[in-house]
Amino acid sequence: MHHKLNHDNTQCCPSETFVSMKPVFSKTYPTKHVDENPIISNGLPVLCSLKIRCLQRQQKNLLPICFKEISIKKMNFFSKCLDNTCNKRKRKVILSFLNYRIKNTRRGTKMLDLIIKKKQNLKNELLSGLTVALALIPEAIAFSFVAHVDPVIGLYAAFIMGLITALFGGRPGMISGATGAVAVIFAPLVISQAKLVGIGGAVGYLFLAVILMGIIQIAFGVLKLGKFIRLIPHPVMLGFVNGLAIIIFKAQLSQFYIGTGADAKLLPFVPFMVMIALTGLTMAIAQFLPKITKAIPASLAAIVSVSLISIYLKNHGFEIYTVIDFVKNMDPSKTTISASFPSFALPNAPFSMETLKIILPFSVLAAAVGLIESLMTLTLIDELTDTRGRGNKECIGQGLANIVNGFFGGMGGCAMIGQSMINIRAGGRSRVSGITAAVSLLLFIMFGSFLIEQIPLAALVGIMFMVVIATFEWSSFRIIKKIPKTDAFVILAVSSITVIIDLAIAVIAGVIISALVFAWEQGKEIKVEIKVDASGKKIYKLKGALFFGSVTSFKEIFDVKNDPTPIIIDFQQARVYDHSGLEAIQNIAKRYKEVNKKLHLLNLSKESLMLLEKADNIEEVSIIKDLNWHIADDSLA
């Protein structure tokens, strides 16, 4: 049975007994913890000291976890020893044990640590980049078919996006490539133009749209608008990562089917079970290999190991679905993913205003979606690595990459959260990993396609499933009942809209909902102190924000019918934000005038005075000279 400790330090020990599961000294605990700023103080009883330290570290629920296997008898023994009644050796062992237990206790039930800590070195960068390159290939091919273009165009896009953003982007370690979000936007453009000018001309319109998309993104970065990603509320961020994890998971399920669209059928029983087994084996290697060795990235080791096993099984009659089977499933006419080095060419489409009208809506939407997904991924990696990327620089890097895409035959793209998570988990932190991924991808499609084509889909699916587990914010289940209901609603809404409709729409909707909730809460927060002085003047001292969300509460404060005259409204601790606030003041002044009562307004801003000068029903308006608050009003714009 666990016990809740008192918050005072005078009575720390519980009166009942902890359940003892195993001997305290059943293993040897490292003694280095004693000399490295020990958590347990020497002069205090153990439980008192532990409670204080846990509270200081804001881990109040750590206590029952740390000591769920220690009896009260042993705790008393610890206390006596730490009060200098035991010899030095026993004291050292006890301190080692207690500090070991605390430092190795994890709070909550998260499946993976929030901050992924890896040492930055060249070996990790190169190997993580190689792993990402392998994971990029099926994604790029799949998104090519989504956009109704040749798979080579998607592979070129993955190479160019990855290389340019790695060199010039604002977030080292983040991977960019051909993405489904951008492919879905450009698909209608390709389809509509293919009917008019053929697929060759339609691809030319696509390349022009990608170039214009890049120009818009560069303008966004030059104007330094990337900073506004920091305004996205945390509940929106939680909903974003949860929804994205579900999308990544759903995207992998198609690998268990043969055919596409309405003709898709589940794999035969034996190949299906083999794929399930190989997927599970990949996940197991990726999860548990780091506990044995960190010499190579677990994801890369999993892909190589499962590929060798699949080759063995294939030679013994088992049907194993590989990358080339995936390509043939999408387009039976394709027999290889091999391609040459991308070459420069002007888009095969007319440069005219008519063309601009056609491509502009697609380019604007793709630029917005690409930047939102990229900046949200940047923010997530910032949290995972406890570092900070540069949003504006990333906007410019994304735009430059898309412009180069348009001239070198790529379909454009943005940051890829799945591949970025693979890179971060494998130890990629610098630009080297992104460059390695892009260059490795190009080398694969130029010289090593015969090897890549033999990689089983199960290995890549398993890696992406591990990405799903790492991406999903499992703590949201734990906190959902503890946070405000509005925040919980935002998390669920953004997650649902991300899965059902679109990522960009989900983020915009989440920001709007959060803004409306904030306005509502702020509108309820306007406070007032009311008093009548010796001369009979009634004074309203306001505190809070007067804007469209709080005008109703503001109007309900005043008792126009029963107030004495004169009436003073003091704005020293309040602020008028917009025209709705000024209109509310005018309304109150008008109501007081109708009952022949004089109104004085004190301590307003200069702009408020400018807009209230024509109000003849206000007896006096005073301002604070050095107050330069601005009001959102058309007459001052």
Domain span including residue 552: 525-636
Q: Give the mean pLDDT of 314-329.
A: 87
Which of 456, 479, 502 lies at the terminal end of a domain, its last residue?
A: 479
Number of domains in the chain: 2
> Bigger pLDDT: 147 or 167?
167
Do 263 and 357 lie in one domain? The reply is yes
Q: What is the pLDDT of residue 532?
A: 87
What is the DSSP secondary-structure string of 559-602?
A: -TTT--SSEEEEEEEEEE-BHHHHHHHHHHHHHHHHTT--EEEE
Do 402 and 314 lie in one domain? The reply is yes
The answer to the question of residue 316 being in a domain is yes
Distance CA 305, CA 286 (A): 11
Distance CA 625, CA 604 (A): 9
Distances (CA, A) of 394 to 263, 267, 414, 527: 41, 41, 10, 43
The answer to the question of residue 606 being in a domain is yes
The answer to the question of residue 107 being in a domain is no
The answer to the question of residue 540 being in a domain is yes
Q: What is the pLDDT of residue 438?
A: 95
Do 280 and 340 lie in one domain? The reply is yes
Q: For residue range 121-139, what is the model confidence (pLDDT) as tens digits? A: 788 899 889 989 988 887 7
The answer to the question of residue 209 being in a domain is yes
Do 472 and 578 lie in one domain? The reply is no
> Bigger pLDDT: 269 or 228?
269
Do 470 and 540 lie in one domain? The reply is no
Q: What is the DSSP letter of 620?
A: E
Do 436 and 539 lie in one domain? The reply is no
Do 549 and 462 lie in one domain? The reply is no
Q: What is the pLDDT of residue 283?
A: 93
Indicate which CATH number applies to the domain containing 615: 3.30.750.24
Distance CA 381, CA 425 (A): 11
Which of 458, 479, 500 lies at the terminal end of a domain, its last residue?
A: 479
On whether the CB atoms of residues 541 and 602 are closer than 8 A, the answer is no
**Cis preceding-peptide flag for 566 (omega within 30 of 0):** yes
Do 460 and 561 lie in one domain? The reply is no
Report the range out of 1-15, 398-412, 446-460 with the highest average pLDDT.
Answer: 398-412
Q: What is the pLDDT of residue 355?
A: 92
Q: What is the pLDDT of residue 295?
A: 74
Distance CA 401, CA 624 (A): 51
Phi, psi torsion values for 64, nearest 5 degrees:
-65, -25
Q: What is the pLDDT of residue 398?
A: 96
215 pLDDT tier (thresholds 50, 70, 90): very high
Distance CA 166, CA 389 (A): 13
466 pLDDT tier (thresholds 50, 70, 90): confident
What is the DSSP secondary-structure string of 387-452?
A: ----HHHHHHHHHHHHHHHHHTT----EE-HHHHHHHHHHT--SHHHHHHHHHHHHHHHHH-HHHH
Q: Give the mean pLDDT of 470-478.
A: 82
SS (H, E, C) 512-564: HHHHHHHHHHHHHCCEEEEEECCCCCEEEEEEEEECCCCHHHHHHHCCCCCCC
CA 30 to centroid of chain Cα atoms: 37
Do 472 and 530 lie in one domain? The reply is no
Which of 423, 450, 479 lies at the terminal end of a domain, its last residue?
A: 479
* Burial class of residue 167, CB neighbours in 10 A (0-12, 13-18, 19+): middle
Q: Give the mean pLDDT of 527-555.
A: 86
Do 469 and 558 lie in one domain? The reply is no
What is the pairing mode between strands 538-546 and 527-532?
antiparallel
Q: What is the pLDDT of residue 6?
A: 39
What is the pairing mode between strands 265-266 and 257-258?
antiparallel
Q: Give the mean pLDDT of 155-161.
A: 95
Q: Give the mean pLDDT of 151-168.
A: 94
Judged against a pLDDT cut of 60, whether residue 240 lies above it is answered with: yes
Q: Give the mean pLDDT of 458-468.
A: 85
Distances (CA, A) of 436 to 129, 417, 572: 5, 18, 60
Which of 46-60, 133-147, 291-305, 498-512 has the least mean pLDDT?
A: 46-60
Q: What is the pLDDT of residue 91?
A: 61
The answer to the question of residue 498 being in a domain is no
Judged against a pLDDT cut of 70, whether residue 114 lies above it is answered with: no
> Bigger pLDDT: 290 or 23?
290
Judged against a pLDDT cut of 90, whether residue 157 lies above it is answered with: yes
Q: What is the pLDDT of residue 435?
A: 95
Judged against a pLDDT cut of 90, whether residue 98 lies above it is answered with: no
Q: Give the mean pLDDT of 406-419.
A: 91
Do 418 and 553 lie in one domain? The reply is no
Q: For residue range 624-637, what is the model confidence (pLDDT) as tens digits? A: 544 444 454 444 44
Of the candidates 417, 487, 470, 521, the one whose C-alpha atom is nearest the C-alpha of residue 233 is 487
Of the candidates 329, 350, 398, 384, the one whose C-alpha atom is nearest the C-alpha of residue 160 is 398
Q: What is the pLDDT of residue 51?
A: 41
Judged against a pLDDT cut of 50, whether residue 17 lies above it is answered with: no
SS (H, E, C) 321-377: CEHHHHHHHHCCCCCCCCCCCCCCCCCCCCCCHHHHHHHHHHHHHHHHHHHHHHHHH
> Bigger pLDDT: 161 or 422?
161
Judged against a pLDDT cut of 50, whether residue 37 lies above it is answered with: no
Q: Across the chain, what does the average pLDDT equal?
A: 77
Do 426 and 529 lie in one domain? The reply is no
- pTM (whole model) above 0.75: no
Q: What is the pLDDT of residue 203?
A: 92
Judged against a pLDDT cut of 50, whether residue 307 lies above it is answered with: yes
Judged against a pLDDT cut of 60, whether residue 470 lies above it is answered with: yes
The answer to the question of residue 566 being in a domain is yes
Share above pLDDT 70 across residues of the chain, in percent, rounded to a whole number: 75
The answer to the question of residue 173 being in a domain is yes
* Burial class of residue 617, CB neighbours in 10 A (0-12, 13-18, 19+): middle
Distance CA 210, CA 406 (A): 6
Q: What is the pLDDT of residue 549?
A: 80
